[in-house]
Amino acid sequence: MKLKRRDFIAGTLLAGVVARVEAVAGSTPWYNWSGHVNANPAHRLRPRSEAELAQMLTSATAPVRPVGSGHSFSPLVPTDGSLVTLDWLAGLRSVDEENMTATFGAGTRLMDIGPALQSYNQAPVNLPDIDRQTIAGAIATATHGTGQTLGGLSAYVTALKLATMDGEILSLSASDSPDIFNAARVSLGALGVVTEVTFQNRKAYRLKAKSEVITLEQALDHFDEEAAAHRHYELFPFLYSDYTIALTIDETTGDIDHPPLDPEEDAQFQDLMSLLMSTPAIARQPIIDAVVSDLPTTTVVDESYKILANIRNTRFNEMEYSVPAEAGAACLREIVRTVRDQKLDVVFPLEYRYVAADNTWLGMHSGEGVFAAISIHQLAGVDYQAYFDVIEPIFWKYGGRPHWGKVHSLGAAELKHLYPRFSDFQAIRQQLDREGKLLNAHLRRVFLD
Amino acid sequence: MPEPMTTDQAFLWSGSCAQCHVSGNAGAPVSGDTAAWQPRMTKGRETLLEHTIAGFKNMPPLGYCMACEEADFVTMIESMAGTRLTD
């Protein structure tokens, strides 16, 4: 079976079963990407301009929730009131070639940023790894890529516009209302609706990505030196296995060499996942080790944005926490050990990477130093609760902060201790949304004690 | 013959459904390939709407079109398939 690393990452959906939400008359249901989060919004707002959006917000039925691509696994979006879509607030709006910045409509998908900037010889400094998210959704949840010297997407925001519930359009930057700006760069759609974002970019560049299989212990023993030596370094540890995929990415001036995924390999991946799902957890290791150890080392070269972010065909639900980097290896080892000791039924690999700190108020990586972001996944359509409930306390033990867009159980009582600027954010939130019209049930739990 | 997409629907389609239904990514039936669409269309309007809205196999819920309503999806499906949906 000649699978490649990319097959495990892009993959093919297993036939997950998602029960359809009973539609409310006149309402098209809404589901998130995994199908697990759903709603029946009474109104779908489709503003074609900032001015139209601002007017809509003044009279929209609460809860008012903006939606990007629906890639969050946490219930940030559900509303039975007004769903605000950003499809018409998209596209490249302006480029500053001298300062290497560019301004996009907030509804722009990440996959469209790179191509739009190519003709200006600019490229994003870094990108999260799923390319279908919108800019607004990605920065709202502090979505990030990999790299111990590289921050999440919000770290590269130099300005943004925010439509408020009072019908104003605020223009924000580090020099123009800096407090609201630093709050708004990661704000869960709880301050208003972001309509436009300006990014600091860099000169266009190419990346070479090498994926190889090594033992997890070897990878963790050398993780710090590898993360320091390479622009990006990331692990995808297999559960019930001694192995991990190690992904190393560095800049290159080499020729592009990036063949498309082979559909036959996709089918082989699906067969493997089906086999594993039907095999008792304690009996999986020989199968996984045999397949994984046979995976070839592969190298691809392409424009940076084509390496950093891609489509995901396999749908899943995810929990991710970020812990201080010095605690990362111990946290990961405990997760791997716990899954095996408790015979948890999961086949999806983990994810382990470093991210640089930033100066946002509510980003998971706000503060100083370097963070280790650790992700666990369960296939969409498969109940994840038992697995996530066992692992989440491990993250807490190591001082972790949950990814805002992924499954977590924390509320205001816990979150206020994780973020020094939490109360400052609350003050701005209450100032901009006095009636709490932007709060759905999840956000009430996140922000209200 | 199916109704053509409105300008708004075409805009929404280009940013969502077209991502897979033009290239055939992940096994999606290609827009205009009536032979590929025919077995899907025999499942009827309700089934195809359910698949589109709730997601089906590699297709995410709503096909990434958060702004689309049921009527939009009907027109888009019929346009891609080249034939009307049946009840």
Q: Are B55 and A31 inside 8 Å of each other by CB? A: yes
Report the pLDDT value the prediction gives residue A223, as an integer from 0 to 100.
98
Kindly tell me if the per-residue pLDDT of A365 is higher than 50. yes
Kindly tell me if the per-residue pLDDT of A24 is higher than 80. no
Q: Are A30 and B60 inside 8 Å of each other by CB? A: no
ipTM over 0.90: yes
Report the pLDDT value the prediction gives residue A313, as an integer from 0 to 100.
82
Report the pLDDT value the prediction gives residue A11, as an integer from 0 to 100.
40
**Is the CB of residue A330 less than 8 Å from the CB of residue A398?**
yes
What pLDDT, in 10s, does the model give residues A159-185?
Answer: 999 999 999 999 999 999 999 999 999
Report the pLDDT value the prediction gives residue A5, as an integer from 0 to 100.
46
Please state the rounded mean pLDDT for residues A70-83.
97
Report the pLDDT value the prediction gives residue A3, as an integer from 0 to 100.
47
Q: Are A18 and B26 inside 8 Å of each other by CB? A: no
**Is the CB of residue A211 less than 8 Å from the CB of residue A6?**
yes
Please state the rounded mean pLDDT for residues B32-44.
95
Show the tokens assigned to A35: 């199908």
Chain B residues with CB under 8 Å of A67 CB are: 66
Kindly tell me if the per-residue pLDDT of A32 is higher than 70. yes
Kindly tell me if the per-residue pLDDT of A439 is higher than 90. yes
Banded pLDDT at A276 (limits 50, 70, 90): confident
Report the pLDDT value the prediction gives residue B87, as an integer from 0 to 100.
81
Report the pLDDT value the prediction gives residue A10, as an integer from 0 to 100.
42
Banded pLDDT at A15 (limits 50, 70, 90): very low
Q: Does residue A85 belong to the interface with chain B, where contact is any CB pair within 8 Å? A: yes
**Is the CB of residue A213 less than 8 Å from the CB of residue A259?**
no
Interface test with A, best of B66, B70, B76, B77 (most A CBs within 10 A): B66
Q: Does residue B24 belong to the interface with chain A, where contact is any CB pair within 8 Å? A: no
Chain A residues with CB under 8 Å of B62 CB are: 30-31, 70
Q: Does residue A312 belong to the interface with chain B, where contact is any CB pair within 8 Å? A: no
DSSP state of A282: G
Show the tokens assigned to A293: 């150890």
Interface test with B, best of A9, A20, A134 (most B CBs within 10 A): A20
Please state the rounded mean pLDDT for residues A366-391.
96
State the virtual CA torsion across A265, B59, B22, B6 in degrees, nearest 10.
180
Question: Pairing mode, if any, of strands A206-215 and A243-252?
Answer: antiparallel
User: By C-alpha distance, which of A364, A4, A446, A423 is closest to A186?
Assistant: A364
Chain B residues with CB under 8 Å of A20 CB are: 50, 53-54
Kindly tell me if the per-residue pLDDT of A352 is higher than 80. yes
Q: Does residue A313 belong to the interface with chain B, where contact is any CB pair within 8 Å? A: yes
Q: Are A35 and B55 inside 8 Å of each other by CB? A: yes
Please state the rounded mean pLDDT for residues A397-417.
98
- Asked whether the whole model's pTM tops 0.90, one would answer yes
Banded pLDDT at A330 (limits 50, 70, 90): very high
Q: What phi and psi values does residue A90 have, to the nearest 5 degrees?
A: -135, 165
Average confidence score pLDDT of chain A:
93
Size of interface A-B (CB pairs under 8 A): 72
Please state the rounded mean pLDDT for residues A139-146.
98
> Mind telling me how many Å the CA of A172 is from chain B's nearest CA?
27
Percent of all residues in chain B with a pLDDT value above 90, rounded to a whole number: 90
